[in-house]
């Protein structure tokens, strides 16, 4: 357990979510262990006693998340309500409390996956492993980042940006992720054997995480090779895909797709319509922010934009579609593949970016990076118009 706690503490620092020495993780196995000593552990041990969990994470976020979350949680705010699709689906909302007290933390964590303690940090939990707590923490940071920038653009247009909001914006600008000018070179295809396909899928996932083009575990990656689709498993971490890639026969003759990514059906649709073989899906922040930018405030579908926005929208040459995970009437399997045909990528409203390429992941990764840069540039261009 101690090894796992140290692993996810290091991942938080590597991902830019916390500074070295800040993450405090506890895990319950035969006994309760912590990754380090801290004055906060007595309070958190009482939280363990009040919940059916096996892990707990508490940390002050690193910049820019710290300033963003402090701003969103300021005043008498009791709950932050981001509108990105992952928060809607998995987190619902982000409760805020003022005091670092076990009873208050327990009260919120009984109903939600996280609680923000104003000025002190974020607490999240896991019932299976510390990985869950890491995922929830990452998701809180991502959701708050997206909300802050989406709100700032809206308020700038209205002339309603507050002095405090502007001050936080200036702080945050100095702490944005830096993307490489030249994308890394990935394995070159076409691939000659299954082992190389597994390696290529794992490499694409790992680099997507390394370059911060995805939050927590929500992205996915796949490669069609022969008559099989090799796709990352649902809830798998993209930087640890060894043993978490499912070979799914295209003719459906095996049930391996049961554990495949929840977007398996959308991947299959893309392959059939585009003729491409490699699909990469990440959650680059500004692609998500820009997908949510809409000036039609009185639209009849306001509030369900992520599922059924009726408008045809683009950022540059990239279409934006709505849709939910799965195969329902508004499922991504119906909206995404059609939009991908003839395009280098598609952004799903509030969700993330899908890109494709033919024989390996070089084109897909290059497109993921260049589209995110384009969205970032478009965001700041809009602030000046």
The DSSP result for 298-349, as a single string, is T-TTTT-HHHH--S-EEETTEEEE--BSSSSTTBHHHHHHHHHTT-SEEEET
Mean pLDDT, rounded, of the chain: 90
> In this structure, how many other beta carbons lie within 10 angstroms of the beta carbon of residue 23?
27
In angstroms, the CA 20 to CA 18 distance is 7
Q: Is the pLDDT of residue 257 over 80?
A: no
In angstroms, the CA 302 to CA 289 distance is 16
Rounded alpha-carbon distances, angstroms, from residue 280 to 233, 244, 363, 369: 14, 16, 10, 11
Place of tokens 């494709």: 356
In angstroms, the CA 234 to CA 231 distance is 9
In angstroms, the CA 13 to CA 62 distance is 8
Residue pLDDT, tens place only, 298-347: 776 676 666 666 777 899 999 999 887 766 778 888 889 999 999 999 99
Q: What is the DSSP letter of 91?
A: I
At 295, is the secondary structure helix, strand, or coil? coil
For residue 338, what are the contacts with CB-CB under 8 A and spacing of at least 6? 273
CATH class label, 2-173:
alpha beta
With a pLDDT cut of 90, the percent of the chain lying above it is 73
In angstroms, the CA 366 to CA 289 distance is 20
Domain positions in the chain are 2-173, 194-383
In angstroms, the CA 307 to CA 310 distance is 10
Please indicate whether residue 297 or residue 33 has the higher confidence score (pLDDT): 33
What is the CB-side half-sphere exposure of residue 247 using CA atoms within 13 A? 10
In angstroms, the CA 324 to CA 331 distance is 5
Q: Is the pLDDT of residue 59 over 80?
A: yes
Please indicate whether residue 140 or residue 263 has the higher confidence score (pLDDT): 140
Average pLDDT over residues 69-77: 93
Residue pLDDT, tens place only, 28-41: 888 899 999 999 99
> Alpha helices, DSSP H only, in 244-342?
264-274, 285-291, 305-308, 332-340
Identical fold between 2-173 and 194-383 = yes
Contact 341, 260 (CB under 8 A): no
Residue pLDDT, tens place only, 94-132: 999 999 999 999 999 999 999 999 999 999 999 988 999
Q: Residue 299, class by beta-carbon neighbours within 10 Å (0-12 exposed, 13-18 middle, 19+ buried)?
A: middle
Please give the pLDDT value at position 216.
60
Angle at 245 between CA 243 and CA 246, to 5 degrees: 120
For residue 199, what are the contacts with CB-CB under 8 A and spacing of at least 6? 187
Provide the pLDDT confidence category of residue 255 given band limits of 50, 70 and 90: low
Q: What is the DSSP letter of 153?
A: H
Tokens of 382: 């809009």
Q: Is the pLDDT of residue 213 over 60?
A: yes
What is the CB-side half-sphere exposure of residue 4 using CA atoms within 13 A? 19
CATH of 194-383, one of 3.40.225.10, 3.90.1170.50, 3.40.50.2300, 3.40.190.10: 3.40.225.10
């Amino acid at each position: 357990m101690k090894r796992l706690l140290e692993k996810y503490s290091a991942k938080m620092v590597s991902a830019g979510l916390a500074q070295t020495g800040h993450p405090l993780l506890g895990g319950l196995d035969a006994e309760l262990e912590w990754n380090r000593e801290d004055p906060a552990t007595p309070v958190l041990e009482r939280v363990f006693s009040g919940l059916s969990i096996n892990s707990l994470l508490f940390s002050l976020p690193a910049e820019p998340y710290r300033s963003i979350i402090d701003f969103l949680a300021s005043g008498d705010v009791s709950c932050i309500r981001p509108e990105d699709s992952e928060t809607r689906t998995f987190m619902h909302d982000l409760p805020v409390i003022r005091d670092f007290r076990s009873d208050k933390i327990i009260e919120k964590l009984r109903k939600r996956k996280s609680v923000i303690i104003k000025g002190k940090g974020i607490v999240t939990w896991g019932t299976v492993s510390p990985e869950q707590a890491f995922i929830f923490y990452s998701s809180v940071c991502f959701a708050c980042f997206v909300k802050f920038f989406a709100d700032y653009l809206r308020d700038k247009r209205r002339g309603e940006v507050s002095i405090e909001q502007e001050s936080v914006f200036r702080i945050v600008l100095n702490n944005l992720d830096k993307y490489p000018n030249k994308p890394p070179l990935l394995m070159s295809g076409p691939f000659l054997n299954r082992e190389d396909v597994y390696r290529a899928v794992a490499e694409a996932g790992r680099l997507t995480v390394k370059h911060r083009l995805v939050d927590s575990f929500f992205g996915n990656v796949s490669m069609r090779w022969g008559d099989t689709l090799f796709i990352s498993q649902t809830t798998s971490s993209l930087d640890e895909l060894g043993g978490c890639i499912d070979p799914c026969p295209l003719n459906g003759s095996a049930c391996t797709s049961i554990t495949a990514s929840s977007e398996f059906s959308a991947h299959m649709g893309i392959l059939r319509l585009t003729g491409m073989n490699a699909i990469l899906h990440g959650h680059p922040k500004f692609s998500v922010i820009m997908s949510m930018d809409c000036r039609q405030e009185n639209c009849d579908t306001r509030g369900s934009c992520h599922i059924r926005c009726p408008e045809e929208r683009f950022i540059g040459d990239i279409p934006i579609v709505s849709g939910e995970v799965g195969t329902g009437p508004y499922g991504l399997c119906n909206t995404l593949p059609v939009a991908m045909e003839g395009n280098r990528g598609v952004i799903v409203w509030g969700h993330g970016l899908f890109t494709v390429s033919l024989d390996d992941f070089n084109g897909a990764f290059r497109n993921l990076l260049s589209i995110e840069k384009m969205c970032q540039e478009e965001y700041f261009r809009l602030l000046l118009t």
